[in-house]
């Protein structure tokens, strides 16, 4: 028992402040990590739905200017939405047809060249420094055939898995097309309903942050298309000097692959070099490698810093780390969506912390608040209804946030409420 005048020292006071601070940070970080892990698990379980919706959002951002332009020309919104989607489908179909015809026309020559290269490789094995005889080469070939036969069950299982994947892809295409139609047609209403699920005090802030996130996402989509187009033209023109019949398919492949930052460019560039290697040999392949490296260096040091860096405000090191993390977590899908997701989160979190990247947007655009269901305290004549003098609250007016009442929303402000004018 402490005597008068003595100071009682508790166990908490014996722990240094730095340790207490580290402990406070630790349990909070553990809770955040658990929440993020749970969210990622849910998204992984629902990937058949989540991925098509994300793709639909990106395509909607791409088609929205087309739909707005058609509306300015006097086309009704429903018809403008339909024409925008049909135009995209026609464009993609045309690319597939052109690439398919080029592959069919040049595949036979490429196959003949590949066979000749394989035979030349076998001759080098037997006549070169390795000095392998014909019997040894035949034995290696039979071993390879036996290996394929032993793995037949695995190949069949993989084929069945591929069939299941094709089914998921078809379902995803239907979901994405359905979402694109309604995102283009009625995106403002969908966003309003989503924001009104939040507490009243948070709705305005989330709405303004969402508008800025959508602007960032739009800038990313436009910039990525420009970067992919430059890569496709540069590598496609370079491959035309060696394999003219396959230059268009290579360019289309590079264009599509460039939407996966860093990894897509490396993979598609390697394919272009491999095709030239099979068709023209080592010297041509080395020249093609130089062209690929030149195009990618121009992208990395000119396009990415000035265009992509301005669009998403992410340092190249951050882009590399984000793509790597997305690839580890969700494979190719994670690599595809890692950068736009990080860019949107960067803009939204900065706005929530008081830094507005797009002050020119202003805060004049508001969403209508849903009417609150009246409680017993709002109904006259009940015991919980407070007496009021001079004013009455029985008119069913909807609650609003502090300050002036929200202004009427823009007639057409998109899923995130940004002005379309």
Assigned token pair, 311: 């669009």
Neighbour count for residue 339 (Cβ, 10 Å)? 23
Residues 218 and 220: their CA atoms lie apart, in Å, by: 5
For residue 399, what is the DSSP state? P
> Burial of 300 by CB count in 10 Å (0-12 exposed, 13-18 middle, 19+ buried)?
middle
Neighbour count for residue 77 (Cβ, 10 Å)? 15
Are the C-beta atoms of residues 333 and 51 closer than 8 Å to each other? yes
CA neighbor of 54 nearest in space, from 220, 240, 197, 201? 220
Angle, nearest 10°, between helix axes 200-240 and 282-298?
Answer: 150
Predicted confidence pLDDT, tens digits, the chain (421 residues): 555 555 565 666 677 888 888 988 999 999 999 998 899 889 888 888 898 999 999 999 989 999 999 999 999 988 999 999 999 999 888 887 877 776 666 666 666 666 666 666 666 666 655 556 666 656 666 666 666 556 555 545 554 455 556 777 788 889 999 999 999 988 888 998 999 888 888 888 999 999 999 988 888 888 888 888 888 888 888 888 888 877 888 888 888 888 776 677 778 888 888 888 877 778 888 898 899 888 887 776 677 666 666 666 777 777 778 888 888 888 778 878 888 888 899 899 989 888 888 888 888 888 887 666 666 555 565 555 555 444 444 444 444 444 444 444 444 444 444 444 3
Angle, nearest 10°, between helix axes 47-72 and 77-127?
Answer: 130
Residues 189 and 211: their CA atoms lie apart, in Å, by: 14
| pTM for the full predicted model | 0.68
Measured between alpha carbons, how far is residue 362 from residues 239, 276, 357, 412 in Å? 48, 53, 11, 16
Residues 284 and 248: their CA atoms lie apart, in Å, by: 18
Distance of CA 100 to the CA centre of its chain: 27
CA neighbor of 309 nearest in space, from 348, 282, 346? 346
Q: What is the three-class DSSP state of 131?
A: coil
Measured between alpha carbons, how far is residue 271 from residues 81, 250, 334, 379 in Å? 37, 8, 22, 72
Q: In the chain, what is the straight-line distance between the N-terminal and C-terminal CA atoms, in Å?
A: 76
């Amino acid at each position: 028992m402490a005597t008068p005048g003595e100071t009682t020292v508790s166990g908490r006071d014996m722990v240094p402040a730095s340790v207490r601070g580290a402990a406070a940070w630790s349990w909070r970080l553990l809770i955040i990590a658990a929440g993020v892990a749970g969210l990622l698990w849910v998204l992984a379980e629902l990937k058949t739905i989540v991925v098509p919706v994300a793709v639909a959002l990106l395509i909607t951002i791409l088609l929205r200017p087309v739909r707005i332009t058609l509306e300015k020309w006097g086309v009704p919104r429903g018809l403008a939405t339909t024409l925008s989607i049909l135009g995209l489908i026609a464009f993609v179909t045309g690319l597939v047809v052109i690439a398919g015809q080029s592959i069919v026309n040049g595949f036979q020559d490429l196959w003949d060249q590949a066979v000749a290269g394989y035979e030349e490789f076998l001759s080098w094995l037997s006549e070169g420094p390795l000095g392998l005889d014909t019997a040894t080469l035949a034995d290696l070939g039979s071993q390879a055939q036996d290996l394929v036969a032993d793995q037949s069950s695995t190949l069949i299982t993989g084929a069945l898995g591929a069939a299941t994947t094709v089914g998921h892809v078809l379902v995803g295409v239907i979901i994405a097309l359905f979402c694109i139609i309604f995102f283009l047609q009625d995106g403002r209403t969908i966003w309003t309903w989503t924001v009104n699920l939040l507490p009243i005090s948070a709705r305005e802030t989330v709405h303004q942050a969402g508008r800025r996130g959508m602007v960032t996402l739009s800038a990313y989509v436009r910039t990525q298309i420009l970067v992919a187009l430059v890569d496709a033209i540069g590598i496609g023109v370079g491959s035309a000097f060696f394999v003219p019949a396959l230059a268009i398919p290579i360019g289309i492949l590079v264009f599509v692959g460039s939407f996966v930052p860093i990894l897509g460019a490396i993979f598609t560039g390697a394919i272009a070099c491999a095709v030239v290697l099979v068709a023209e040999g080592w010297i041509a392949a080395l020249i093609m490698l130089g062209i690929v490296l030149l195009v990618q260096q121009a992208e990395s040091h000119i396009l990415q810093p000035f265009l992509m860096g301005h669009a998403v405000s992410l340092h190249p090191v951050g882009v590399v780390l984000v793509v790597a993390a997305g690839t580890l977590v969700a494979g190719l899908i994670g690599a595809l969506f890692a950068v736009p997701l990080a860019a949107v989160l960067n803009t939204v979190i900065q706005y929530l912390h008081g830094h507005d990247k797009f002050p020119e947007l202003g805060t004049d655009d508001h969403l209508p608040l849903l009417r609150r269901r009246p409680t017993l305290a709002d109904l006259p004549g009940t015991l919980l209804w407070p007496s009021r003098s001079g004013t009455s609250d029985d008119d069913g007016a909807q609650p609003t946030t502090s300050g002036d009442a929200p202004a009427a929303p823009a007639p057409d402000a998109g899923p995130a409420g940004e002005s379309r004018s």
